[in-house]
Every structure is written in structure tokens, then in C-alpha cells.
A and B are shown apart, each in its own frame.
Chain A
């Protein structure tokens, strides 16, 4: 896989060229201060406040003094979460990761178990996964450059 780091920060429609895909990347978790602004940004897409539905998750690695870990879908080319979905609600997305069809999803939670990064977050109200769509909205709200969008070749 040939990935070019572009650090676009934001992908405007003009940079989204035909045939090019982007994915969200965690550039360096050591830059993370744990402010959760990315998580709140993701929730605003739904659109709402709070943290009920957010596809990105930040937690300390065992005491904030040791830093944080930023957990988000890494856009697998061959996503294990899609493989274990019994209803084909999760379909591999061109460029990596998956797309959720909520109408097909029965909330079995297999996808959550299958992801080795624990990157499948859960919407407890709907009882369905919250899937990162790699839109990059959170990138705009990370003042520390922890997050970026990069092109997937």
C-alpha cells in the first residue's frame, strides 16, 4: 500500500479528486492533551452535543501523566468488522474502512468484538455501531495536530 502523507488538515471538494480517497490518521498521540475536542466535534455531526455518538475515542494510557491513546477507525483495506457482520450492514468502503447501512444492522456487536483496535464505538440509544466516515470534521477541532487526513493511494 502506498500512502502519501499530505497533512491536508481539511479536504475541500477540490482536493477530493476522482479516484482519490482520504482517511483519518493519528499522526502522533504524544501530542494529544486529552481535551476531547475531537470527540465533541464528531458528535456535532449527528448533530448534537455531548458524547453519545462519537466515532473517535480518547483515553489516558493509565494516568494522564503517561499520555493518551487516540482510538479511531484506521480504514483497513480488508476490514475484519465487515467480515463478521451477519447482515451485510457493514460494507467495505473504497479507500478502506466500512460504510454502515443502519437499516440492515441488528446491533449484534460482532463488529465491535472483531476490531483489534477497539475502534468500533457504540451508540447505546440505537444499539448500533458508530462508524467513522473519515470526513475529517474532527481534524479542524484538534489544535495540536494529532489528527490529519491523508490520501490513500
Chain B
């Protein structure tokens, strides 16, 4: 078979062995032609490389980073997929990040990178011009702030403007199971603990850079389709909200409908939501908007805080902090924090440590409620957690990293682990051990988190199905499950190509067909949907091989107690939905 894609370098998979400090490249047209890249290819590479029973924090765990056929060719193809065994859930870990990484990987001449083994000493990798350099990171290990690591490597490494600097913070080094990898300071592989996996491998950072041409098969058609998509993205009202206020656009609408999880989801409304709204941030705090590489939307919103040094007259520090909807939910409303600058400082601390904002917020929210109920005392928490007290929460973030006692060492394993030990499982908001995203919109959202293969709200957008039905007849469980699976299967196509899901409205199936054609890949909409289902099934199989148990799927009790915009969720409805889902799955895998 002749490879349809003209750019052969996309087929190249870079394998790096940290134990032996070696690397090699294999061309895998089979994978990219069939699975498009990203999620699809990463699933296959992980299946090939990972023994299912390995300890996620042992040298045997494997990290795959993958981009797709559209990376470097079309706008908003700006994401990288990371896949690994998650130390938080013990199951499949998949996390997506923007920044400059996707473009940098394609420009460096690879389609995917597989990182195996573990180093004895801290190292960082410098990947450019066909080489992988293993560099001593002993001096970087233990540095308090992940931001400093970025600053240091920016000076030392080549390809400014055309590179990514991915690194972990102290949380990753100290194996907090929800540690993140920070990219370009304001983007993250946030979820499911990739940072801890890097920490266990003594991998402090990865810098990738380069510059090259990507040939296409039909140049004039490529330019034409590019322009159409570019215009759609820059002029469409769908993208406008990400562009204007960014993701915090969601704060007010969700609060009005009563879907904004507040104080460990003891309410769906936050009385001070206006102070944390996208509008308020834009008016009082916004300093600059920036974009991921090759995305004209520029949804990244960066706030500024100006702080006076307490003992020095006329000395100020001016700092920049990225804000998005999910951190505002997890570290703001979930903790009852209404002081905008306080929230920004808390977000900053989480970034400095290199933690996932969502898991950290939910863990702290559970801790606060457990403390108030007397399940734990100051002996465990060392401080007195109180809703809204962001200064105490900053101290607690530091304790999660430092783990000075058994309680914090347990909390560093995840909210569910802590709740199993200290009680309060009924209000521990976790799904397959992953902490909850910020939407309490109805059954769709919660079912979506539970059965979504990443346990992410972006897997299947159950929250958006919910919002469609507000004030209308909510569909029966079977229909909800069908909709969720259908959407998740399609999204596998988008995250394999790899497109940003915020641009999903611009990349309808017909547009994706058009975008692939000039590259030499002739697929119909039907073909694409089939590939989506195929990837969905492959990922599900991988999850099952890693120990995913469909009959052990459980929802936190709390979600049935607090009304959603679609009314109270009933256990009966969810039991039926799960039963139907299990049947669908066994049918699908037959």
C-alpha cells in the first residue's frame, strides 16, 4: 500500500528509554493511517508497550505523547494527547494539553513520543534536530516553583518561539497522585497524575523544538480549505465566547441555572458568583490574552495581581496568573472563595506546586466538609479549614505537597483514598477515583463523568446534553446513554486529529472530510464515524485490560441530594442508565 499522507515524518514514533538513556525511531504508517493520530494512535502504542498490571509509579509505566494528521496544518489543531497508566485511578490515564507542544512535536519531526523506564538521577530531555539529549536535572529537582523551571530552561534551550517546555513541580517529584505537567506556564496536562508518573521516572522536564515544512498533496485545495476553516473559526459566534471572556464565560449562566457546584456541592448556586464571573475577571484582573500555537481564538486569559511588600514601602510585586472556568470552580466556588485576588493567589500556588487544580479543589472541599463534620480534626489538618479562607487553603496546598503527616500523605493519594480511610465517602465527589469537574447540570453530566473513558466532562459533554433539556422532558436513561456514547465516539476522531474540542463546532464531520482530502486522505463522514467508534472500543478494551470494572462504577451520594436545573437526580434513573450502558458495552465488544 502506498502511504496516502505526503508528510512521512508524521509517522515517526520516537521511543525514549530513560533507564538506558537511549532513543530510537520507528515509522508507523499503519497506526497513523488507520487511527489518525492522538487518542487513536496513543491507545495502540500504550497497548503495545504497557504491561497492564504494572504499578503506575514504577519504571514499567509508559507515557505516550501523540499529535495527529492535522497538527501543524490547520488552525486549532493545537493539542497533544498524553496517555499513561494513571497513579490516581490505577486505570487508563489520558490528558490533553495545548500551549506550543503540539506544533513543537510536529516541527521536531515526530508524530508520537513514547517514554519508558526511569532514570536514577533527575534528568530533563532536550529533543531537537533528530536527537534526544539526556541532561542532568539534579539541580532543578526540589526547586520550589514550577515557574522557575520554565524560566531556567528558556535561557538554556534552543528554538525560542518554536518549542515547548513541559515540566513538573514539587508535587510531581513528591508523587502526589494528581500532580500535573505544566506547559509554557499557562497550559497543563492537568488530569489523572501525569506529573507523578514523570516524578517517579525522575523526569523533570521535556523541551522539544524545531522548524520544518509539511508537504501536502493538493496545495491549492489545502489553501482554500484552510481559509474556509480559518474564517469559520474567527468569525463564528461559537468561538466568540472563548475569545472574549474565555472559559469563565460559564460562571454566570451555570450559577443562574443552579449548576455551579458550591462548597463541596452542598449547593448549585454561589451567592458571590458575580465576583468570580468571567465579566468581573475581565474588568478587574485581565492583563493579557494569549493563544496556543496555531489557534487564532486566544482563549488563554491571564490576570495580573499587584501586591505590596508588607515591610518595604513602595516595593511591589506584579505577577501573572492564568485563570479558566475549572480552576474558578474547583478552587473558588467549591471552596466558597469569593475574594478574586485570593482565588488568583490560590490558583498560583497550585501552579507553582504543579498540581491539578480540579482534583486539588475537590480534595480540599472534601477535607473542609469532613473537618466540619468532625471526621477529622486539627490533628489531621494542622490548620482550621474554613469556606472562603484562601490563605489557609494555600497552606493546605503546601501540605499536600510536603505531606508532613499521615493525613496529608493520604490526601495526596486522592480524595477517594482519603474518604475511605477517614469516612465521608458519600460526599467525596469522585468518579472512578477522579475528582469531579464543575458542572451539576443533571444526570447527563454525572453519568458522563462516570462512564467517560477519561472521567472528564469533555469526554462526551453530558453537561451540554443536560442543558439542552432544561425545562423540557428529560430523555429516558437509554436515550441519554446512546447520546453520550455517540458523542464520545465522535470526539475520538477530533482528539485523534488532534483538534481542540473548543473548536468542535467548526470541525463538523463534513469539514473534517474536507480538511483531510488535500492531505491525500479520502475518507467519508461514514468512515470517520466508524473510526471514532473503533477508537472508542479500543480504548474501552484497554481500560478493561487495565482493570476497569463496569459493575463497580459508583456515583457519590451527594449528587442525589442537591437539585440540578433538571430537578433532583434519582438513583433509580442512574441505576437504569448504568445497566443499559453495561449491556451496550458488552454488545459493542462482542
Q: Which residues of A contact B (CB under 8 A)?
A: 33-37, 40, 43-44, 46-53, 57-60, 62-65, 67, 124-125, 141, 143-144
Contact = CB atoms under 8 A, between A and B. Distances in A.
Given A64-B184, A64-B290, A65-B288, A49 B72 contact: yes
A52 B211 contact: yes
A53 B215 CA distance: 11
A47 B219 contact: yes
Contacts of B213: 43, 46, 48-53, 125
Most buried by A among B151, B291, B320: B291
B103 interface: yes
Contacts of A50: 72-73, 106-107, 211-214
A4 to B, nearest CB: 28
Interface string B318-329: 001000000000
Contacts, number: 104
Contacts of A33: 289-291, 296, 298
A35 B154 CA distance: 19
Contacts of B107: 50-51
A60 B161 contact: yes
Contacts of B185: 63-65
B75 A37 contact: yes
18 contacts: A33-B298, A35-B292, A35-B297, A36-B103, A37-B296, A40-B294, A47-B220, A49-B222, A51-B107, A51-B211, A51-B212, A58-B161, A62-B154, A63-B154, A63-B185, A64-B185, A64-B288, A65-B288
A67 B214 CA distance: 28
Contacts of B150: 63
B293 interface: yes
B217 to A, nearest CB: 11
Contact of B214 (A37, A48, A59, A125): A48
B215 A48 contact: yes
Contact of A35 (B184, B294, B302): B294
Nearest to B321: A65
B237 interface: no
A44 B295 CA distance: 16
B154 A48 contact: no
Nearest to B518: A49
Most buried by B among A47, A50, A143: A50
Contacts of B212: 50-52, 124
Contacts of A44: 222-223, 226
Nearest to A50: B214
Interface string B102-122: 010011000000000000000
A34 B290 contact: yes
B216 interface: yes
A46 B184 CA distance: 30
A53 B211 CA distance: 8
B545 interface: no
Contacts of A64: 184-186, 288, 290, 300, 302
A49 B211 CA distance: 11
Nearest to B287: A65
Contact of B294 (A37, A57, A67, A144): A37
Given A47-B223, A50-B214, A64-B186, 10 more contacts: A33-B290, A35-B292, A35-B293, A36-B293, A37-B296, A48-B216, A49-B214, A57-B161, A63-B150, A141-B230
Contact of A67 (B75, B106, B288): B288
Interface in B184-218: 184-186, 211-216
B511 interface: no
B226 A35 contact: no
Contacts of A46: 213
Nearest to B233: A143
B517 to A, nearest CB: 14
Nearest to B230: A141
Contact of B291 (A34, A47, A65): A34
Given A36-B103, A64-B185, A47 B234 contact: no
B161 A65 contact: no
B501 interface: no
A62 B152 CA distance: 11
Interface in B266-325: 287-298, 300, 302, 320
Contacts of A34: 290-291, 293
A62 B219 CA distance: 35
B234 to A, nearest CB: 5
Interface in B226-259: 226, 230, 234
A48 B214 CA distance: 6
B374 interface: no
B78 to A, nearest CB: 9
Given A48-B219, A49-B216, A36 B184 contact: no
A115 to B, nearest CB: 17
Contacts of B184: 64
B162 interface: yes
Please provide the 4 A-B residue pairs with the shortest distance between their CB atoms, ordered closest to farther.
A59-B161, A52-B213, A50-B214, A65-B320
Contacts of B476: none
Most buried by A among B73, B154, B290: B290
A50 B103 CA distance: 8
A33 to B, nearest CB: 4
Nearest to A30: B288
Given A52-B211, A141-B230, A35 B106 contact: no
